[in-house]
Structure 1
Amino acid sequence: MGLWCCLLVPPLVWLPGTGLACAAEDPNEVVLLHAWEVDPDLDTQWYYGTPPNYIQSVDIDKLLQGDLQQRVEEAQQIIVKANRGPVEDRRAVLDAVLDALAQKEQNRVLRMVLVSAASSLVQDTEEAQRLWDALEGDAHARRMVEPRLKDWKSQVALDRWRQVLAQPIADVRYAITVLEGIAAVGSSADADLVRRVLLSDGAVLPVQLAAATSLGQLQTSGLEELAGAIADSDIPRGKLLAVRLLARHTGSAAAARLNHIIDVGETAEQSLAYQVLASVDASAALQRAEAMLEHPDSTARRTAIDLLDAQQDVRSLNLQAALLADRNVHIRRQVRENLRRKAAHPELRQAVEDIVRFHLQGDRFEGIEQAVVLVSQLQLHSLAPRLLELVDHPREEVHVRAAWALQTLQLQPEVLEAISQRAERITARLERDATMSFTEEITAAFLFEALGRHRYRPADRYLRKYIPKADQKMRVITRTSAIYALGKIWEGSRDKGLADKLAARMLDDNPLDPEEITVQYASAIALGRIRHPSSIAQLERVPDDPPIARGVAAVWSIEQIRQASDGE
């Protein structure tokens, strides 16, 4: 699915030198696609966000036989490529790297880069053992690898880690690595060693936190008394340590300790205790959900939302719905997505619609923006008049989304007329060279698309003003959407005059002032909709081939025109 401009507020990320915008990743974000990006759905790539996971190849000969600089650069590239996606012939590349390491390469820079390259390629315990063996006698290189051993579930350093814990550890970072490793691959027999670290007088807080986490993973019962003693002591962050000890416990004793910490602890301690309580005793955590929805820590609020969302009653639905206007954008998106899913249940549908109406009339823009998205997702056509009012909302998060949502709904005649009047005023402003912000342009573009999707012919008198390039006086995005709308309005009309004007825009490759690619694309698509037979020759002159957008559009439009001719 393409995306020329996804106005996502917040956050908006600009891609330098492209003029494109894309959103920071969030699974619950809704991309505000323009109608011409999805109608027709040609899978044209307008969105240049996260690059696809192409298979990455490695030059093994250069890695093994090149000069020093080439070998270092190729090893560095292995790291980069492994992070981007699958490495071609990964095992063969790993074999080559391990062979180079086994040869005891003397250049320290190359050796360290090879160690990092190997670490980026290893995937399992057997490969971890091979890497460890290749580094025999190189304590520094092995220390580089040790933090990754837990990810590979490798026990190659377990005996060493036990020896380290048996004596005072001066290196805090290494102590944390050892404790995390033992937590991942150790056994309950290691619990006493970890306990001694936790309770040692010289342990600093980061090491104590790692030790408490490790002990809580190694021993999943019987730590309630220790947790209580630490929580009630004067040990700094004792309650936080206690919660980590109880992370995998179950039963009423652990739940009682956690509830006490929630009652008397500080913000971070309460939040973590509530997360653990949700897994230890979900019913007890659910009883606290209403209060935790107001907790200052967003993770605590998210935990409460998850517990409420597991219920299927109107009260739980309404409780979490209050956070549709939460100050944390990720939480309000999560609640919106939860409500969208709940609306699929007939017994909850009306409650969800009532929530949407409530927030549409609210004074918090955060709740309004999410309610607007729900209007579109749930196709609540009767709420279009309220969306039209919100197009004048002072917050761009609201007015842009309101315009976007309008072009996804079935609109009443009076709403279309009001949109048309607004669109005509916008056109008059642009003709006067009036200043217009980018969000105003996006809002106008969505309104044009609403008129096009409804084939609102009275709009033709001003939408045609967007066809001429005119030094982009009428703005690129609004021109693109206006041309899309004209194609929809005059679909099947075979209007040669209009088609010829659009063909000129499609084919304008003036080297000093070429037409914008989105305008060329929309013009090509519009020709396929208008379907004048003479447009085929013009479409065949398009120099681009698929998957370039204009080439895709030309192929599609030629097919549309020929099918229409064959059907006569």
Structure 2
Amino acid sequence: MNAQDNIIKNDWPMFADPVMLHEQKILVVADRLIPTWLAALASEANEIRVDAVETIRMASVKKLPGLEVTIDPLIAICADKENSKVLRHTAASALVLQDAKQAESVFVEAVTAGEFEMSLIVEDALRRWQSEALLDIWRKRIERPTSISLMRLAFNGLASNGSDDDHQQLVDYAVNRANRNSLRLEAAQAIAAYSKRPYLTEAAALSIGTSSDLVIAAALASPTPGEQEQDQAVEINQRLCASLSYVASGLAAQSLIAWNPQSILELSEVLESHRNKRSRLAYVTALYETVASDTLVTLAQYLDDADPELRTQVRNWLIQLAEQPELRPGIIQVTQRSVSSDSWRVQEQGLHMAVELEQTQVALDALGLLTSERPEVLVTAAWALRRLQVTATLAPALAYCDGRKLEFLGEKLPRDLEFSINEQFAHLYQMFGQMKYKPASKLLQQFTRKEQALRFRVRASAAWALGKIWEGDLTGDPEIAKLLFTRLTDEAPIPPEDVLVKRMCAIGLARMGSNTPETIAALHKYREQTMRSGEPGFNSLHTGASWALTELTGESFPDPIPEDYNEGPWLLSPFDAKLLKNSN
């Protein structure tokens, strides 16, 4: 983890209260940019043309608007075999990226002529464009293989656009043990991707073969069968699910779950703890799709799965299922047990469920998880406490924070948990602010001060919380407004005060109602200092100062102006005389 890798990604009240415009940027393509590239394409100097084509290819990757005018010149470059390979291949790549179907005939001509590199660049695009001209080329290639890469393209082309006979040719190739196993699998995977029916006879024969045969069998059996083939498809796929092949089991389980979840449940002893995530996911999906009150506990066991995506999926399913009245009581019980579980994985998921299902009764258990040694749990517990907002947790949470204060100030936090504990405190401080918990003020003031050992994010959250707690009250603790003003106006160069801290201090002063001439002057000063080229921008101090001035004085200010940007720098750009003038 690093300082920016938050456990809780998008739920930070101090960035949402007050509501401000999010930063906006507008893509601007200079008027002379693309014309400059077109002019370079027409140059007699090969190096300039290569730079131009590569620049257009880069722009195509970034989906720069207006590139359609480059299509015809690029096609012309590809068509002229007198051009260098680098020039033609780069132009072809740019055309593929632009999905320029106008280039089909030129691409087909290059493939027909046996241009290996061009085939690698353009054939997948020709497949997408359903180019019939390549079907015979692909058929002949399979009959007389020369390149693994070209064979792979042929398999996908024929599977995607070919006839039933072509599909059978691929199946025969996959079945033939005389062929290279890697290519047999490529052919079978192409069938799995594009065929509208399974090839069960061939799959059955391979399902008792080698490990490679089992994977190929699973691919050939994976398309959804027609009604008359379903019994046979179930039998073959279940056999493959129970096989010793890690990959075949996952493929077969994925196939069955798409159309027959009951057949997956019949393999519970095999799939429930399978080492292949795909196999487990198929089983868990079957549990979800057939869930009942008496199977909730079985589904909930996967809140402890080793795979984070799978356990998160189960959590989301359980939250969704809680909308059903007959299932909700069981899911509430699962939530309560999860928060008090011995497994950190289950604890984390239970905390999320408690928040989404508004189960405030788990708040006291969540307090105990603040001292967890797992970053996922200690942060999520603080977030859950903030979201649940149970008054009885405020004093214990403050005691916990106060108890770790010296670890912060003495830089003695566990190194592997340092960032996570900072994030944890930020959530707890925001909770104190949202719930206006005045006993936390002393600690929050200590964490708002500029201490080298304290990170900016936790200091900003403390300043934000002070503004919320003392909203509309300047006299309850006069030292707070002084502290916020001092932090706002701190211009010491080493170490400099953080812009985010200054912003939260500006907002806090406005909330408290500190409309002294000094405060107003400081807010105007920092608002003007943080303009972007004389215009209002999205600098966090600029937007914070503007909001504060509006709250305190009623002044209105223009909204921030979106910043222009381009996707450069480019290998070729229009000449700008201003740059030459500025360099002198």
Aligned length: 532
Q: Give 1:225's aligned residue.
A: 201
Compared with structure 1, are the counterparts of its residues 530 and 155 closer, same or farther at alpha carbon in structure 2 (3 Å cutoff)? Answer: farther
Q: Give the partner amino acid of 1:88.
A: P
1:265-298 per-residue CA deviation (whole Å, 9 max, x = no partner) reads 4222222111112234333224435752311110
Cα deviation for residue 131 of structure 1 reads: 4.3
For the structure 1 residues 155 and 392, does the alpha-carbon distance in structure 2 shift closer, same or farther, using more than 3 Å as the test?
same
Partner of 2:575: none
**Compared CA separation, residues 41 and 299, structure 1 to 2 (3 A):** farther
Aligned CA distance change for structure 1 residues 238 and 527 (closer, same or farther; 3 Å): same
The 3-state SS of whatever aligns with 1:82 is helix
Q: Which of the numbers 122, 132, 137 marks the counterpart of 1:145?
A: 122
CA shift at 1:77, angstroms?
3.7
Q: What does residue 546 of structure 1 align with?
A: 537
1:372 corresponds to 2:354: no
Q: Residue 120 and residue 218 in structure 1: after superposition, are their counterparts in 2 closer, same or farther (change >3 A)?
A: closer
- State the match for 1:356 in structure 2: 335
Q: Cα–Cα, structure 1 residues 188 and 328, in superposed 2: closer, same or farther, change >3 Å?
A: same
**Any idea what the Cα deviations from partners look like across 1:431-454, whole Å, max 9, x if unmatched?**
455456232222222222221111
**2:8 is the counterpart of 1:38:** no
**Higher mean C-alpha displacement, 172-181 vs 503-512:** 503-512
2:470 to 482, 490, 493: 490
| Partner AA of 2:431 in structure 1 | A
Q: Check conservation: 2:110, 2:119, Cα contact below 8 A.
A: no
Name the CA shift for 1:400/1:56 in 2 (closer, same or farther; >3 Å).
farther
Judged with a 3 Å threshold, the aligned counterparts in structure 2 of structure 1 residues 143 and 430 are, in CA distance, closer, same or farther, namely closer
C-alpha offsets along residues 365-414 of structure 1, whole Å, 9 cap, x if unaligned?
1111111222223222221111110001122221121112212221223x
Query: What is the TM-score when the length of structure 2 is the normalising length?
Result: 0.82
Q: In structure 2, how many angstroms separate the alpha carbons of the residues matched to 1:372 and 1:561? A: 39
Q: Provide the residue aligned with 2:395 in structure 1.
A: 417
User: 2:521 aligned with 1:537, yes or no?
Assistant: yes
Quote how far apart the aligned CAs of 1:133 are. Answer: 5.1
1:444-499 deviations in whole A, cap 9, x for unaligned? Answer: 222222211111111112322233324x2333222111111101111111457533
Residue 241 in structure 1 maps to residue 212 in structure 2: no
Structure 2 distance, partners of 1:525, 1:420, is: 23
Q: Over the residues paired in the alignment, what is the CA RMSD in angstroms?
A: 3.0
Structure 1 counterpart of 2:383, one-letter code: W
CA distance, structure 2, for counterparts of residue 555 and residue 328 of structure 1: 46
Deviations 1:164-189 (A, max 9, x none): 1223x142222122111111111213
- Aligned position for 1:388: 367
2:533 is equivalent to residue 558 of structure 1: no
Structure-1 separation of matches of 2:10 and 2:446: 25
Q: Does 1:100 align with 2:77?
A: yes
Say which structure, 1 or 2, has more relative contact order (CA 8 Å, 6+ apart): 2
**Distance change >3 Å, CA 94–CA 309, structure 1 → 2:** farther
Change (3 A) 1:439 1:223: closer
Q: After alignment, is 152-161 or 283-292 more displaced?
A: 283-292
Give the deviation of 1:528 after TM superposition: 2.6
Q: 1:467 aligns with which of 448, 453, 460?
A: 448
CA contact (8 A) 2:287 2:299 kept: yes
Match of 2:79, as an amino acid? A
More displaced stretch, 381-390 vs 460-469: 460-469
CA distance in 2, matches of 1:560, 1:311: 55
Cα distance in 1 for residues equivalent to 2:357 and 2:484: 35
TM superposition score normalised by structure 1: 0.85
Say which is worse superposed, 545-554 or 145-154, in terms of deviation: 145-154
Alignment check: 8 A CA contact 1:44 1:552 kept? no
Match of 1:479 among 443, 450, 459: 459
Partner of 1:443: 424
Structure 1 unaligned blocks of 5 or more: 1-11, 24-29, 46-50
1:323-349 CA distances to partner (integer Å, 9 max, x unpaired)?
111111111111112122222333322
Residue 218 to residue 476, structure 1, CA distance change in 2 (3 Å): closer
Q: Which of 20, 41, 44 does residue 64 from structure 1 map onto?
A: 41
Measured at CA, do residues 143 and 392 of structure 1 come closer, stay the same or move farther in structure 2, by a change above 3 Å? closer
Give the equivalent residue in structure 1 for 2:68. 91
After TM superposition, the structure 1 = structure 2 runs for residues 84-233 of structure 1, keeping only pairs within 5 Å, are 84=62, 86-104=63-81, 106-122=83-99, 125=101, 128-129=104-105, 131-132=107-108, 137=113, 139-140=115-116, 141-167=118-144, 169-215=145-191, 220-221=196-197, 223-232=199-208
Aligned AA (1:521) = R
Provide the rounded CA distance (Å) in 2 between the counterparts of 1:22 and 1:458: 28
Alignment partners' CA distance in 2, 1:253 and 1:552: 66
The residue type paired with residue 245 of structure 1 is L
Change in Cα spacing, 1:541 to 1:180, as seen in structure 2 (3 Å) is same
1: CA distance between counterparts of 2:223 and 2:46? 50
Name which of structure 1's ranges 454-463 and 290-299 shifts more when overlaid on structure 2: 290-299
Deviations, residues 410-441 of structure 1 (Å, cap 9, x unaligned): 1223x111112222233344445545623222
Whole-angstrom distance in 2 between the partners of 1:52 and 1:326: 41
1:13-24 aligned at under 5 Å gives the runs 14=2, 20-21=4-5
Going from structure 1 to structure 2, the CA distance change for 1:497 and 1:143 (only over 3 Å counts) comes to closer
What corresponds to 1:8 in structure 2? Answer: none
Q: Is the 8 A contact 2:78 2:106 kept in 1?
A: no
Identity of aligned residues (%): 23
Mapped pair 1:453 → 2:431: no
Distance 1:75 1:318, change over 3 A: farther
Q: What is the correspondence of 1:260-279 to structure 2 with a 5 Å cutoff?
A: 260-279=239-258
